[in-house]
């Protein structure tokens, strides 16, 4: 086996979520930043919230509005 090819393992790596939740885990990076976690993800919270990444929901809504406009009959 080759020596010195594995990354450094940090048994006390800190994970920081955008909601402010933090916890410690083992990882190859000292600090990990994430957008959603089990404390704020809609699946775990039961909250009907849309997690919009890079405006995808907004683009979908614009396409949906255009489709509705095209399918409406004249004079409606």
Q: Can you give the three-state secondary structure of 11-59, one letter per residue?
A: EEEEEEECCCCEEEEEECCCEEEECCCCCCCHHHHCCCCCCCCCCHHHH
- Which has the higher per-residue pLDDT, 13 or 59? 13
pLDDT score, position 49? 62
Residue 53 clears pLDDT 70, i.e. is over it: no
CA angle 7-17-51, nearest 5°? 120
Do the Cβ atoms of 27 and 8 come closer than 8 Å?
Answer: no
Q: Which CATH architecture has domain 10-71?
A: Irregular (4.10)
Domain ranges of the chain: 10-71
Q: Indicate the pLDDT class of residue 69, thresholds 50, 70 and 90.
A: confident
Residue 66 three-state SS = helix
Residue 25 clears pLDDT 90, i.e. is over it: yes
Q: Indicate the pLDDT class of residue 75, thresholds 50, 70 and 90.
A: low
């Amino acid at each position: 086996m080759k020596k010195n090819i594995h990354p450094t393992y940090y048994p006390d790596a800190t994970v920081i979520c955008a909601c402010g939740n933090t916890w410690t885990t083992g990882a190859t990076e000292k600090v990990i930043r994430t957008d959603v976690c089990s404390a704020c993800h809609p699946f775990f919270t039961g909250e009907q919230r849309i997690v919009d990444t890079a405006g995808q929901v907004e683009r979908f809504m614009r396409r949906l509005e255009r489709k509705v406009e095209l399918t409406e009959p004249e004079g409606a």
